[in-house]
Structure 1
Amino acid sequence: MATASSFDIVSDFDQQEMVNAIDQARRDITTRYDLKDTKTTVDLSAEAIVINTDSEFTLDAVHGVLREKAAKRKLSQKIFDYGAIESASGSRVRQEIKLKRGIEKDLAKQIVKDIKDEFKHKKIQASIQGDSVRVTSKSKDDLQAVIQHLRQQDHPVELQFENYR
């Protein structure tokens, strides 16, 4: 009897790569001629990045630097959830950029429904497990087909496929 194979669909990023990208962005900001006198700060926590700078114009420039450094570190642009631009003390602006991790319930339900609709003639099960989706099947070829199908979709978060066995 064949055993079932499975994999997990997750949405995550490498925290150390994010730390490195932020460090590179800070270095770039302190040396760039248009940004070095702005007293811009970029602070990273586990869930968000907080940017404090002197104007919306420099905020846009900092966004560009941040996106460039993240892309060089192979971090998806989809992990950034830009918050509202707030006024800070001394005519400065502040913005919090939340870092998206995990698959939200609505998106997980949509992914499960999509898999069941697309592969209804194959014996593939998809189930929500916390902030990930587990897909199981007896055929590894079917699982590969599911991965290919999901890679062709445009989801609001970056999807990774883990624990393939």
Structure 2
Amino acid sequence: MPSFDVVSEVDQHELANAVDQANREIDTRYDFKGAEAQVEQAGDEGGLQLEAQSEFQIEQMMDILLKKIAKRGIDVRCIERGKLTETGRRATLLVEVKQGIDTDTAKRMVKSVKDSKLKVQAAIQGDKLRVTGKNRDDLQQVMALLRAGDWGRPLQFENLRD
């Protein structure tokens, strides 16, 4: 029985490259001379931390980072700004990189697939959604349906099996 998985993942290697490129641009920009501003990956979950001297510089860094991420082919909908904290002469912004499909979004996707009246089954498996059907054409229609919807995060389709 043909099936495929719907996932929402970010290529960590491309994300690291985007962070590296953003840091290089920050180092060479005149308005950041001597500011000790940097973007670094924080933790194993793929979050990012922006650190600079002021909130204005953080906003400039965020703009640079988003441009580099988009240029590397990563959808910017997976980036979620955190809370900006200012302590003394430093400002820090934590940015979350969303991965996986949360339960609420997966339930909305399953409901959308069921409402389409296609002869497929959709099942939530952790942070993935598995869709199975009798023929490949139905699966392709489900892919088109899910691409057309606004789920708040980028979707990828993998593991297409006959």
Task: State the TM bucket, normalised to the shorter chain.
Answer: over 0.9
Give the count of matched residue pairs.
159
Counterpart CA distance in 2 for 1:143 and 1:86 is 46
- Check if 1:99 corresponds to 2:97: yes
Deviates more, 1:34-43 or 1:151-160: 34-43
Once residues 154 and 114 of structure 1 are traced to their aligned partners in structure 2, the CA distance between those partners, rounded to angstroms, is 11
Matches of 1:80 and 1:73 in 2, distance apart? Answer: 14
Give deviations 1:56-109, integer Å, cap 9, x for gaps: 111111011101110111011011111011112x32211100111100011111
Q: TM-score, normalised by structure 1?
A: 0.93
Give me the TM-score of the superposition, normalised by structure 2: 0.94
In structure 1, what is the Cα distance between the partners aligned to 2:66 and 2:33? 18
Cα offsets for 1:103-143 (capped at 9, x unmatched): 0011111100110001x2x3200000000000000110111
Task: Give, in whole Å, the separation in 2 of the partners of 1:147 and 1:123.
Answer: 13
Q: Percent of pairs identical after alignment?
A: 43
Q: Distance in 2 between matches of 1:104 and 1:36?
A: 41
State yes or no: 1:41 paired with 2:38: yes
The secondary structure found in structure 2 opposite 1:133 is: strand
Q: Which amino acid aligns with 1:142?
A: D
Please identify runs of 4+ aligned residues in structure 1 that moved more than 3 A: none
Instruction: Report the Cα offset of residue 16 of structure 1.
Output: 0.5
For 1:54, the equivalent position in structure 2 comes to: 53
Unpaired stretches in structure 1, ≥5 consecutive residues: none
